[in-house]
Amino acid sequence: MAESALAALRAQYDAIARRLEGTGAAAAEREAVKREIIAYFKQVDAMIGELTQLKEEVRQLVDKFKQLAASTAEAAAPEFTGSRPAVHADHIGASTFIEKGWSLISLGDHVGAIQALQRALQLSPGETQAESLLGWAQMLNGDYDDALQTFSKVLMKEPANSLARINVGYICLKKRIFGEAIEHLSKAIRLDNDKKATLYAHFYLGLVYLQREMYEDAQTFFGKTLKLGPNLIEAYYELGRARWFAGEQDQAKQTWTEGFKANKFNPWGKKCQEMLDLVAQGGEPPRT
């Protein structure tokens, strides 16, 4: 429908252009073409206004989708927290692709976001906001090596960018490069300049130590995570696992009970109940 409307406007433009070329010296002819051009301009301008309003409403859909996804998704990766880019007019159009990339990440189209943000960086090489968003898209798409390279560029320019740093820590965790993961996550905690980053830094350090079977340290960081963010229900699930493997089965079951009660509709709250059911039947929690 959009293509047909644009085609109709283009055909109308071509018709006016042909009339303009054939207009003679007569004042009446010129006046008639002038009125037609003015009417055409007003028609296009009105459509632009309507489309601009519709674009703003689509942004609201994106925001609502993000809220829904955040409440239902079982995402192990850091929740995407990039703020909407400030779009400004630029002669090369990079900001348009940056905004498009942000929207596509929010909607879960990580491949499309990567393409849009790479286009933005072709138009404006080294643009930090585009690089940061590109790193998010690559990480969420599972392109960990590419994401590491991208976030490294961001951190070279912005060493205090805690969100970029916890993402690097998360990627190192996924790649089982535990030493580097601890280094980046610990630095994010020391910086303590972004609440979300500090929260996730504690949580991912808990996962690092859990994977290394250092259960006491894992419990410490999961406990701090829940003090900072009681709504991160996933931390209850992981804290329960750390306590179970440390031989503290009763405390583990209590933790999973608390996690389920904290939000029984959250996917991780449901997983806490699944663990309670599993161990009640004599099963063992998964190691990973």
Confidence at 143, pLDDT banded by 50, 70, 90: very high
DSSP 3-state of 109:
coil
Average pLDDT of every residue of the chain: 86
Confidence at 47, pLDDT banded by 50, 70, 90: confident
DSSP 3-state of 76:
coil
Nearest to 263 by CA among 244, 287, 227, 235: 235
Over residues 214-269, the pLDDT tens digits come to 999 999 999 999 999 999 999 999 999 999 999 999 999 999 999 999 999 999 99
Q: Are residues 258 and 277 in the same domain?
A: yes
Torsion of CA 276, 280, 282, 286, to 10 degrees: 0
- Residue 262, domain member (yes or no): yes
**How far apart are the C-alpha atoms of 83 and 56, rounded to whole Å?**
16
> 79: which DSSP letter?
P
- Residue 39, domain member (yes or no): no
Longest pairwise C-alpha distance within the chain: 98
- Residue 255, domain member (yes or no): yes
- Residue 43, domain member (yes or no): no
Residues whose CB falls within 8 Å of the CB of residue 210, separated by 6 or more in sequence, listed in order: 218, 238, 241, 242, 245
Average the pLDDT over 78-91 and give the result.
54
> For residue 286, what are its two tokens?
């998964």
> 80: which DSSP letter?
P
Residue 74 confidence (pLDDT) above 80: no
- Residue 55, domain member (yes or no): no
- Residue 3, domain member (yes or no): no
Domain boundary (154, 176, 200) is at 154
Q: Are residues 177 and 238 in the same domain?
A: no
Considering its fold, how many domains does the chain have in total? 3
190-196-202 Cα angle (round to 5): 55
Q: Are residues 208 and 172 in the same domain?
A: yes
> For residue 282, what are its two tokens?
């004599």
**How far apart are the C-alpha atoms of 233 and 91, rounded to whole Å?**
46
**How far apart are the C-alpha atoms of 49 and 33, rounded to whole Å?**
24
Q: Are residues 121 and 97 in the same domain?
A: yes
Decide: residue 153, CB within 10 A, 0-12 exposed, 13-18 middle, 19+ buried: middle
Convert 47-66 to b/e letters by CB count within 10 Å (16 or more is b).
Answer: eeeeeeeeeeeeeeebeeeb
Domain boundary (187, 217, 247) is at 217
Least confident of 40-49, 98-107, 264-273: 40-49
- pLDDT of 75 reads 47
Q: Are residues 244 and 210 in the same domain?
A: no
**How far apart are the C-alpha atoms of 114 and 134, rounded to whole Å?**
6
Kindly report the number of other CB atoms within 10 A of residue 183's CB atom.
15
- pLDDT of 64 reads 66
**How far apart are the C-alpha atoms of 223 and 218, rounded to whole Å?**
8
> 90: which DSSP letter?
-
Q: Are residues 103 and 123 in the same domain?
A: yes
- Residue 257, domain member (yes or no): yes
Kindly report the number of other CB atoms within 10 A of residue 239's CB atom.
28
Average the pLDDT over 21-50 and give the result.
79
Domain boundary (217, 246, 265) is at 217
For residue 243, give its domain range. 230-282
Q: Are residues 118 and 133 in the same domain?
A: yes
**How far apart are the C-alpha atoms of 150 and 131, rounded to whole Å?**
6
**How far apart are the C-alpha atoms of 85 and 177, rounded to whole Å?**
32
CATH of the domain at 92: 1.25.40.10
Residue 286 confidence (pLDDT) above 70: yes
- Greater confidence, 119 or 39? 119
Residue 67 confidence (pLDDT) above 60: no
Q: Are residues 193 and 242 in the same domain?
A: no
- Residue 28, domain member (yes or no): no
Average the pLDDT over 267-284 and give the result.
95
